[in-house]
Each structure stands twice: as C-alpha cells, then as structure tokens.
Structure 1
Amino acid sequence: MTGTLILDPLIPLAVLYALAGVALMAAVLALWRGLSGWWLRGAALAVLLVALANPSLQREDRDPLSDIVIAVVDDSASQRISDRPAQSEAALARVRAEVAALPDTELRIVRLGDGEGDLGTQLMTALAEALAEEPRARVAGAILITDGQAHDMGLAPDMPAPLHVLLTGRAADWDRRLVVTNAPAFAILGEPVTLRLRVDDQGRVPEGLAGSAQLSIAIDGEDPQVFTVPVGEDLELPVTLPHGGINVLQFQVAVGEGELTDRNNAAVVQINGVRDRLRVLLVSGEPHAGERVWRNLLKSDPSVDLVHFTILRPPEKQDGIPVSELSLIAFPTRELFVEKIEEFDLIVFDRYRLRGILPQSYLHNVSDYVRRGGTVLVAAGPEFGGADSLWRSALGDIMPVDATSRVYEQGFRPELTELGQRHPVTEGLEDLAPAEGWGRWFRHIGIRQTGGQAVMSGVDGQPLLVLDRVGEGRVAVMASDHMWLWGRGYEGGGPQLELLRRLAHWMMKEPELEEEALSASASGQRMTVTRRTIGEDPGPVTITHPDGTETVLDLPEASPGRYSAQWDAPEMGLYRLEQGDLTRVIALGPSAPREFEETIASGDKLAETVAETRGGILRIEDGAPDIRRVAEGRVASGRGWIGITPRGAYVTQDIRVGALLPAWLWLLMAASLAIGAWLIEGRRGGAKAAG
C-alpha cells in the first residue's frame, strides 16, 4: 500500500491564488508596521489557505507485475548456413535458463523467418512488432540472436530498456561472392555487349585462396568456359549472343575450401537477343496471284531488309532472246549467291524453275549455306514436278521431299497432321479458324515425304507443309501456291499471316518455336514450368534448389505437345531444371538474394542502436553470457554478462481518498494562531502603557 498527497481546492484556483496574494500583503503590512505577532498572523492566514486547498491523502493497493524480456531469434536464410542454427538454439536455451532464474521475470520469444520478396532480414521490424504487443513499462530488455545483417535499421524502435545482441558465426569465417553490376536487358544479335561483374571476398580469406578466383560462364546451359579472374576488381566481359529471344547467361565462381556458402557464387542474366535488321532474299520464278503474299508479309515488318527479284518471262515464251538481256539491270547472281549469301537470314524460292539464270554451282552454294546454318523456304507451284524443277537441282539434296510430278487441281481444306497439332509452328492454328472452318485451296503439288516433319496435309492426306533440319540449318517446303486465298478471305479465309510468321520465325531459329524445349517463368516465388515436345510424354522434371536439394515435378499435359505445371518455390535463389538432355536455369528474385550479399556475422550495423541503450554485442562462440539486473541508466553489459533493468511495474487494485485533516481542526489551528498573535501584541501593548 502506498500514500500520495493530492489537492482538491474548495474554490477556483484563480480565487485561491488571489487570496494567497492578499494574505501575503497583509503579512508584509503587519511586518512593516512592526506588529510583533506578524508571523502568527501570516501562519493563520496560511492555514486557512491550505484548508481551502483541501489536501487529501490518496491510498493505493498495488499488485506488482513481472518484468518482460524479449528475445528475437533470427531464422532467416543467412542464419541457416554453417553451424549458425545450432549456435542460435544453444544461445536461446541459455537465455531461457537465465531468465527463469530471475525473480518476477518473463521471457517472450519471437522468431523471424524469410519474408516475401527480397527485403532481406527485417530484424528491427520484428523487434518493433514484439514491443508493440507488450506494455512498455514492463519491458526490462531485449536480446537479438542474429548474425547482425539486418536490412531495416531505419525502422529501429525507441527502446525503453537495454538492447543486446548475441552474435552467431565465427571470427574465422570467410565467403566469396559474385556480383553482376551491369547487364543490359536486350542486345543486338551479332554485336558484342559488355557486362560488368565483380568477385569480392569477405572475412578472413585463407592465404592460398586470396587474390584470384575461377569463373565459369555458360550460355543456355551449354558447356561452360572457365577463366581465372582477379578478386576485388570490376571486370568487363564482352558477350555476343548466339541466338534471338531470351539468352540465359550463367556465371559461377568456384567454391573455395571453408567458404561459408555457395549461394552467392552464382548469377544468372537473361538478355533478349534482337535482330537489328533481318535480311531476306526472295526469288520469284514467275508472276502469279500469290506472289505478293510473301512480299507483303516481309515488307510489313520494318525490321526486315528485303531483296526481291522476280523473273517475269513466262516459260511458254520462246523468242530466242538471251536470258542475260531480259532485264533492265543485270541480276547480280554472283554477288548474291557467292559473295554475300552468308549475310542473308532467309532465302525464299517462290515458284522458281531452272532457267539457266542460277547455275548449278550457285545452287550448290545455297545447299552449303543451309548446312552451315542458313535457312531456305521453297514455295512450290506446278513447275515443281517438271524437268526444270528446283527439286532436280543441287537443292534437291537438302529437301525432305521428292516430286511426284502430279498436280491436284481440286478444292481441299488444309488440315493439321497429328504431328502438326503438336509442332510449335502450327500448334493451335485450328483455334484461329472461322466458325465454318478454314477456306479451301485449289492446287496441291504432289510430293512424297522422304524426311523431316509433315505438319500440314492436303488432298487425300498427302503432305502439304514439310519442315526439316539439315546440318545446322533448316528447310521448309510448302506444296501449294494458293495460300493467298486465305489472305483474300475466300470462304472465310484462314490464319495466313500467323502461319507465315511462325514459319519464318521457326526457320530463323527463334527459341520459342523450338520443337523440343524446356522453359520456365516466374511470378514472385511461383514458377511455371513448361515442356514442349513433338514426341511422347517426356516425364517429370528434376528441379535442383539453391541449397542443392532436389524436387521431382510431374508435368500434366496442358495441350497437344505441351506439358505444364506450377510450383511454389520455398525460397529465392537460383534453380536448375533438368529433363533428359534439356536444362534450364531460372532465378527467382535475384540469383543471390539480399540475404547472401553479406554473410559474415558482424555487429557493425547494430552497434549504434545498441550503444544508445547501453547494451552490448557478444559473440556466442565466446560463450553464452549471464544475465544480471542493473539499475536504470547504468552500463548494462560486460565481459561474459548482459543486464536487464527492473521496471517495477504494477497494477492498482484499489484507491481510497480521505481528507488530510478535518475542517474543524483547520479552523481551530487558524483561530489558535490568530489568538496567539492577539495575546502577544496585547501583552506587549500593555507593557508599553505601564512604562
């Protein structure tokens, strides 16, 4: 029980202050006049003023409350490397035992895991939230069990008691990390682009490993190239992308002996390869209704440089004029088919027939151009089965078809073959058909498939569009010259532009149109894995986590030739997907998350905040500290110990208020003092009269 003196004036304070002023003036006047009882008069007036102030005694019955100690245990990703989990648990067990031994003291434990995104360790946020849940008047201290790598120090709360840090890790720890400081989002094919990266060492690096590191570089999972690079220096790396679309560049630094973790030894950069200008050579053998289909398609793309030659002389015209004299300008055959053939990305022969304009040696060059990685598209017409057919030239060696010399002049609707429903060039084209189906074509050139993949069929199920790979290049044969009917909307038309666009992109080796492909995309930590194939069910995909563990993911069939599944990754980092010979690397968030930018345990970031509360930072490897009670404002840490401040918090159970003295006693005191003054002054006055 405690007692407190309180005032509850019987009159307004302003009036009380005024009366106090009058009383003071009266006492001063009595003193000035030389009245011997002036001090008794002043005391009487003071007693009356105190009585008017109505002093009361407030008595409280208090129930003392225990002190609270908050322990925040950092369980983030960087705390799960080496033996830090065991260190944290041992330190927490010691804190539990020490707090349990203190009288009237409770322990609150808060565990901090990895949050969403790449925010890093939100240590101060966790501490602030823990403080908000407890009465500040009861918080006697807080203990952080962490590696000290907090990423929200700007949110440090105002501590009402000492803050301490028990630091995990070892003084001899060291780590090496790879940082890509600059990487473009896209690059022009054939032109080098410069990436900047850096290899940094942290902590106590072993003497034999300092100064240099082994860096491996791989593109799209191919065999890596290994280089020895200096540590601690910015490196400029020129890279020329091998293909259009997304190119995945993976960088890996060899793991050194005793290194804390390899989670920050790798980086993945995705660069979109774009073509500056696509060079296409279009050779039209003779005028026909569909000739402008190819020209309009290619000219509609501003990034395409089109070289188009049309031979206007009809085959039935025999006037004896030499071929070399049939054009206003000379057909630069040598320049196009010998000197600059490698500069073209695609060569299209549209109803071309042998007329002596292109000698066989030039067509041999075209055949070799394909085997070295070039692409040729043959759009066949009735001439394809004749004696002057392009099939009977050197190009016939790389074509996946033989001519049957038959031409079907009848209406038919092009259809996708079973393989065509799975092939990326024609997959899903049926969904683009009008309600009544694709419009008919009226000419189908008879061919016999000898290789490749027939993705469309025509009359009596015979091959209509055949695709093939030859060496490093690609060849396509379209056995009809009536695709233009779709473009004109005849009988509803069909997906002419989409088919030609896909066909051209497949021939130019765009990755998204590869027949066998493994791809992955991510939204946050949710990964979508897609396997495209023209074969049978490819089976599950093996996913290797950043920490080396593996997950086998089954891929159900989403559509013909496409198998897909979504998977929630447990953490940010670099994942490797494998299925047979196909591999794919994908980074969820940064390949080296913020948690692994700095892995060496250090109290530097927390030092200022801890010092403000007079707390301490101790390494767990030096031994778990004792916990003592210290007075508020005193130093709260020392060698082998940390302190908490008792708060003396309580709950008031009952309050009683009573007058300090009864009213009659105040009046009696005032009257006694006034009478005393009168007697003293009267006695002295009588003595003066007798004298």
Structure 2
Amino acid sequence: MNGNLVQQISFTWDPLLPDLLWVPSALVAMAILALSLRASVGLPAWKRGLLVGLRALAFALLAVILAGPSTLRTEGREVRDPYVVLIDGSRSMAVEDQEGTRSGAVARWLARHEGSFRTLAEEYDLRFFVAGDELAPLALDQAIPRDALSGSIPTNGQGTDLGAALFGLSDALGGTRPASVLLVSDGADRAALGRAFSDSGAEGVEQLSAGLKFPVSTWMVGDEDGPRDLAITNLTVPPFGFVRRPLSLQLEVTSRGLPQRTHVATLRSNGEVVATTELHFDEDGRSAVDFEVKPDEMGFHTYDVSIPTPEGDAIPANNQAEVTVKVIRDRTRILQVTSRPSWDVKFLRRLLKTDPNIDLVSFFILRNSERGGQLARMGNLSLIAFPYEELFTQDLEGFDLVIFQNFWFGSFTHYPDTEFVRNIRDYVSRGGAFLMIGGDNSFGEANYGSSPLAEVMPTQIPDAASITQPFRAVLSEAGQRHPVTRLVREGDRNLGRWEDLPLLHGWNPLGAPQEGGVVLATAGAGGPPIAAVRTAGKGRTMAFATDTTWRWAMAGTEGPGAGQDHALFWRNAIRWLIKDAEEKQVQLVLDRENYQLGDPMQVMVRVLREDYSPWANAQVVGRVALLGGGDATPIEGVTDADGQLTVLLPSTAQGTVVVEVDVPDVPAPFGHAEARASISDRQGEFLDARVRPGLLKALSEATGGKVLGGRDPDPRLAATGGGNSVLAVDRKVESLWNRWWLLVVLVLPLGAEWATRRRMGLP
C-alpha cells in the first residue's frame, strides 16, 4: 500500500581519489607493468605471464579499493509513481470534425474507460491535467464521470504549446518526475515543438524533447482529413499609409473540404462598406486578392474583412480579420502668395519647390494697382490668373499651410479683403497653419493690425513703417529650446550657430506678444521681436518680420552651417506649423498597431512645454477602451525627468481599441492625444486546424513512449514501470574499502607474486 515503510540496499561507489588523479594513476600503473614485463625478459612465456598477471591483478584490486565501493541503505515510504493523463485544452480542440468536437470525443473516451482509470489509480498515482494557457489539475472524480459525460473538458487555451506543458509537469507534481505520461491531443502545436517538427521533422522533436526524462505516449484525436473550413489566413497592410494615396490590403483565403464555389469578401472601414470582391480558388483551395483604398485623412484607420460563413464551415471564427494602419501625410500642400518677386521669395520658393515632400502652389503679383494704373485695376497681373476668390474660400481647406510673403491684397485689387482675411482667420482656428513674412507689403505696412487676421497672429501688429538697418537675430530664452529655431540639438552649439549667422537687413515692427504667443528671436540682444509663434484655436501661426533670410543661404558665408541654415530654419518652421507628430506637445506612441489577444501593449506618452523643453512631473490621465464602448482601462501617471511616461497594458478584448490621454496643464486641444490599435483573437491553429499525427508520433518515439491508435484505445497500454517507488526519508552510505578482508584480498596477489619470484630465483 501507499505509505508502507520499506528498506532498500544498493551498491554504489564513493571514490577516494579526485577525478583529476585517475588518469595519471592509470598511466603510472601501466608504466610499472611495462617495466615488470621488461625485467622478465628471458623467462619462459608462461612464467612471464604469471608474474605480470599477478601484479596486474594487484593493481586491479587496488583500483577497486580506490573507487570506494560502498553500500547505500535507503529507508523510506513506498509511494505510487505518477501516471499523468495530459489533455490538450487549446481552442483547436473545440473544432468539430469527429462526430462533434475533439474535446467532446475526449470526454466520451474518458467516460467509456472509467473502469480502466480506476484500475490505474490503484496501482499508480493517477493525475489528470488540462494543458490550456496554464496546467490545470483535474481530480479523478472531476474528470470521470462529471466532466467526461457532460463533454465539458475546457478548451480556452489561446494556443497549443505541448512542450511547455510537458516540461512543466514535474513542477506541477511538486518536483516528482512522472513514470508515464499519456498525451491526448490533436497535435496542432504552433509553438516551439511544432516549429521544430516543421523545420527539422522527427530529429527536431528529438532534440527539443531530450530534457524530458520520462516516456510520453500519445493518442491523437481528430480527423486526419481535417475540418471543413473556409479561413482568412492572412490580411496584411504596409507599415503606414499616406493621405489620399492608394493603400493596398492583401487578403489570402483558403478553403478545405468545402464545395468549390465563389465567395464574396467585404471590406469595411469604421463600419461602412468600402469594397467587395469575389474570391476564386485554385486547385489547392487558395485565393489571393488585393483591396485598394485611399484614406482621406491622417490618423489611425481600421479595416475589417469578412466572408459569409458557408454551410458546413467548422470554424466560423476565422472568416473575419481586422487590421489597423497609421495614415500619415504624404506631401504637405503649401500655398505661397507674394506681391512681387524678391531674393527672399526666390530662395524660399526654390527650397519648397525642390522638397519632394511638399506640393507647392505659388502666385506672384508683378505690379500693384497703383503702379499699373487703369490696366491693373481691370485685370490680374500675376504670371497666371490669380484665382483669389477660389483660393481663399472653397480651396483654403485643401492646404496645410498658407504663406503671405511680403503680400498685400491691395497689390492686385481695390475690392475689400475683409472676407478673405476672415476666412484665413477661421481656417487657422479650425486647425490650419499661417505664416506671415515681412517686407514693405506686410504687417503694419499692409494694415493687417486692424484686420481679422490680427486675432490669430502671435504678436500685436502696430501701424508702423519698416525699419531699414542691419541687425543680428538673437534667440530669446524660449527660442533657445523651441524646435523652430533648433539648428542643432545641443543647446550651446545651437546658440553659437545663431551667433555665426550673417546679419539681416531691415524688419517690420512687431508689438507685444498676444495670449499664447512666444517670441523666438529679437533684432539684437534685448531688441524688438522679429520672430514669434502662437497656437491659436486648433491651428498655429508664425510671424517673421524680415525678408532677408536669403542671406543665410548664400555660399561663402562663415560658420559651421554656412549655406545650410536657411533651409534648416524654414523646414523646422514648416514642420512646427503643420503640427508634425514630432512637434506636438503631447505625443502618444504605441509599440505597434496590431496585437494578438493577450500581448502586452506598450503605451509611451511624451509631454513638452510651450518652449518644447521636457515637461517633468506632468500629470497624465487617460483610458483604453474598445471602439464603440465597453469597459475602459484607466491610464494615470506622472512624467519623468525626460517628460515621458511609459505604461504596459494587457490586451484583454478582441477588436479595435482606442487609447486616449490628456494632460490637464496643456490647453485644449493640444493637451490631448489619441492612438488606435487592433487586437485579434485569431490563432495559428485556427488558421490551420488540421491534426498533426507525425508530430505526436515523433514525440513518442523520441521519449520512449507508445503511439495509441484507433478511436478508443485502452489507457492502460501507456503505463510503464512497476507503479511503485520509494520516497526516501533516510539514506546511509557504508564504505567497504576499509574492511579487513578486502585488504587481505589485495595482499594475496602481491604475496603470491613475491613467493613465485623467490621460487624462480628472481629478485
């Protein structure tokens, strides 16, 4: 019976010499024997053999004594060896292909063999485990008959990982190694063991399972022909897409065991049908199609593809797939208007025109209405007709940035400009960007200080004439950190770079900063502002009160950025104005846009101040929730010294999740950031739920187990060993090398050799 006190005696070795001395000792013994053989030259062969043999026998007996012969006396309790029935609890076991689900077939098998299992329980420590996401023990009375008869073997494991389950058995048994394991599975393993079999066959399984020190017998459940199934096996998108540019979604579908007919796949975005296409399958049951869409705005776009479930489809869950793609701006659309050509206009236009990421629309007015007389008042005098009514009404929203470079509406018309200027103001408030560059037709010279446009400008605009004298642009304290004026990242080097810039000539007077306005540079140290920026409503504006920055682009000027600083400065300005992602005050980044259910989501929030220095200790609050509603997971924390907060969140629900964060200290809407991701419940074994008998067979052969065949095998066939072992409570080692009789045995061959040599007259 289990628990009887027993005593076992076994023979063991306890060497008297360290391992390193065995080889040298053997070499010394061989040398002595060789010398003995050489010293007996001239004697008859039988005498030489007798002498050398006696000495060799003595060395052999000495080696046995030095090996430390001992007896191991073990006292303990007799226990039954564990016999483990390991049942696959992954989701593929819920597939219907064998008169019901595979897990149902296991439950019925358990019920039919109740008697066999109770017999095994008398001889072994019978254990049942379900291998899902974790090893879950199942008592005998739980497995039989209740769960078995009701067919309720759990199948909620996200994926099959037989290797992890087998290697975890010893820990689940409290450190005891099982004597026998019967693995009941469909073999649909896509984890390490399955990959090893796919890559290297039985040899790969043997290498991976070498650490298992117990036999694993297997019984496969499921139909080898596989379930009848229509499955979306792959839906891929590029890493990102572009606004108003074609985006390709590649769909791959397989059909197994179903009548070959045409199916229809439907693509949806935010619940609305975007496209449909027919699926035609080849001889292998495969179909591949491409969907093409054109996202019309930046941000995260989620696309869903679904196929109606045909009759007889065993796995309807794989007939739908969802992906999320981040859509970014392809090319920045900029409208540049100026009252007349100039060096400053030429250099900025050339910079914008040669940038492949910019789509530039530029207009020049060659003569103003006063200089052109009646002819100018009768028509447009730009290089092409200036469609100002369309540009500043219906077309305005199509631009990311509007630039007035030394521009005045009176340059080409006497019609009131109030409506057009008001439209630009409203365009900025709704999220547009506006840049005004100085000159004799700009700022106060053009009376913009009394126009609706003044409401969104960074500074007040006094009604004052331009100042014509050279000056050096000097960064303000905010300008030393702001991304617009960051020619190099290091603060000291950036300040030195600005000090080396060529002088500028002339500026338009600017007034005091308006609410939210930030002065970036002044005309000389402590002088009047010449560059300022502002966040106005949902948009941004910038004032740069001189038209001589072209001097920064001239070759031959001095300084480390000679000839480059003009382009760096204006590119920085444009990126900030159009709210490039890297220039937002609150930035939210996910480590990817598509997750598998259960994968951790890494959410990184970065917060910057108005001058774009890191905002340490900023309070961040937010939430993660499924698109369309549901329970939300809160996000809360404080940024570190670098203005960053990183949070790891579980992906616990399938579908599209929206991550939102708010920083209360940053004014709306710039204190808000949002991202989106798709969480899929699609598993590899659901994409291909066919059984893998070859994998199970290889596992049994590699571990010395048996392959049980048929649909109703006897579980007793997988039992190995006697069923009992001893759980030691006391062990005692007794040495034999110090016994007197063993020393006598060692002396006998030495004495016999001495006596023989004397009789032969040898020394």
TM-score under structure 2 length normalisation: 0.51
In 2: Cα distance, 1:475 partner to 1:249 partner:
32
Q: Which residue of 2 aligns with 1:417?
A: 478
In 1: Cα distance, 2:631 partner to 2:253 partner:
25
1:322–1:569 distance in 2 versus 1, CA, 3 Å: same
1:445 equivalenced with 2:509 (yes/no): yes
Q: Which residue of 2 aligns with 1:564?
A: 645
Higher relative contact order (Cα pairs below 8 Å, separated by 6+ residues): 1
Residue 126 of structure 1 and its aligned partner are, at CA, apart by: 4.5
SS at match of 2:691: helix
For 1:539-578, what aligned pairs fall within 5 Å after superposition?
539-543=620-624, 552-558=634-640, 562-565=643-646, 567=648, 576-578=658-660
Are the equivalent residues in 2 in contact too, given 1:286–1:310 (CA < 8 A)? yes
SS at match of 1:505: helix
Are the equivalent residues in 1 in contact too, given 2:381–2:412 (CA < 8 A)? no
> 1:294 is matched with which residue: 348, 352, 363?
348
Q: Which residue of 2 aligns with 1:351?
A: 406
In 1: Cα distance, 2:234 partner to 2:536 partner:
37
Residue 310 of structure 1 and its aligned partner are, at CA, apart by: 5.0
Number of matched pairs = 532
1:636–1:188 distance in 2 versus 1, CA, 3 Å: closer
Q: Which residue of 2 aligns with 1:683?
A: none
For 1:221-260, what aligned pairs fall within 5 Å after superposition?
225=272, 239-244=293-298, 247-249=300-302, 251=304
In 2: Cα distance, 1:452 partner to 1:511 partner:
20
1:384 equivalenced with 2:442 (yes/no): yes
> 1:331 is matched with which residue: 383, 386, 389?
383
> 2:717 is matched with which residue: 632, 644, 647?
644
> 2:674 is matched with which residue: 570, 579, 583?
583
In 2: Cα distance, 1:376 partner to 1:202 partner:
59
SS at match of 1:404: coil
Q: Aligned letter for 1:467?
A: R
Deviations 1:190-248 (A, max 9, x none): 24545466999999xxxxxxx99999733xxxxx658999999999765332335x644
> 2:182 is matched with which residue: 142, 159, 162?
142
Q: Which residue of 1 aligns with 2:493?
A: 434
Q: Which residue of 1 aligns with 2:573?
A: 503
Are the equivalent residues in 1 in contact too, given 2:131–2:165 (CA < 8 A)? no
1:215–1:483 distance in 2 versus 1, CA, 3 Å: same
In 1: Cα distance, 2:371 partner to 2:266 partner:
73
Are the equivalent residues in 2 in contact too, given 1:188–1:273 (CA < 8 A)? yes
Are the equivalent residues in 2 in contact too, given 1:180–1:197 (CA < 8 A)? yes
**The structure with more radius of gyration:** 1
In 2: Cα distance, 1:411 partner to 1:614 partner:
83
1:366–1:301 distance in 2 versus 1, CA, 3 Å: farther
Residue 446 of structure 1 and its aligned partner are, at CA, apart by: 1.4
Deviations 1:128-181 (A, max 9, x none): 868999xxxx975522368956562635658977412589xxxxx999998763
TM-score under structure 1 length normalisation: 0.55
Q: Aligned letter for 1:605?
A: V
Residue 332 of structure 1 and its aligned partner are, at CA, apart by: 2.4
Q: Aligned letter for 1:567?
A: L
Q: Which residue of 2 aligns with 1:530?
A: 605
Q: Aligned letter for 1:594?
A: Q
Residue 644 of structure 1 and its aligned partner are, at CA, apart by: 2.7
SS at match of 1:564: strand
Q: Which residue of 2 aligns with 1:685?
A: none
Q: Which residue of 2 aligns with 1:39?
A: none
In 2: Cα distance, 1:568 partner to 1:559 partner:
22
1:556–1:242 distance in 2 versus 1, CA, 3 Å: farther
Deviations 1:512-533 (A, max 9, x none): 4344443322599572412446
SS at match of 1:445: coil
1:643–1:298 distance in 2 versus 1, CA, 3 Å: same
In 1: Cα distance, 2:272 partner to 2:93 partner:
33
> 1:103 is matched with which residue: 110, 123, 134?
123
In 2: Cα distance, 1:131 partner to 1:80 partner:
23
Residue 605 of structure 1 and its aligned partner are, at CA, apart by: 0.9
1:461–1:110 distance in 2 versus 1, CA, 3 Å: farther
1:90–1:539 distance in 2 versus 1, CA, 3 Å: farther
Deviations 1:627-686 (A, max 9, x none): xxxxx99966665953434545899xxxxxxxxxxxxxxxxxxxxxxxxxxxxxxxxxxx
In 2: Cα distance, 1:583 partner to 1:186 partner:
16
1:402 equivalenced with 2:469 (yes/no): no
Q: Aligned letter for 1:352?
A: F
In 1: Cα distance, 2:641 partner to 2:550 partner:
29
1:454 equivalenced with 2:518 (yes/no): yes
1:607–1:351 distance in 2 versus 1, CA, 3 Å: same
1:123 equivalenced with 2:125 (yes/no): no
Residue 103 of structure 1 and its aligned partner are, at CA, apart by: 2.6
In 1: Cα distance, 2:623 partner to 2:462 partner:
47
Structure 1 unaligned regions, length at least 5: 1-63, 168-172, 204-210, 219-223, 616-631, 652-691
In 2: Cα distance, 1:522 partner to 1:232 partner:
30
1:428–1:298 distance in 2 versus 1, CA, 3 Å: closer
Residue 453 of structure 1 and its aligned partner are, at CA, apart by: 4.0
Q: Which residue of 2 aligns with 1:464?
A: 531
SS at match of 1:297: helix
Are the equivalent residues in 2 in contact too, given 1:99–1:106 (CA < 8 A)? no
Residue 335 of structure 1 and its aligned partner are, at CA, apart by: 3.8
SS at match of 2:605: strand
Are the equivalent residues in 1 in contact too, given 2:159–2:685 (CA < 8 A)? no
SS at match of 2:337: strand
Structure 2 unaligned regions, length at least 5: 1-77, 96-101, 135-156, 172-177, 210-214, 258-262, 281-287, 594-598, 663-671, 726-763
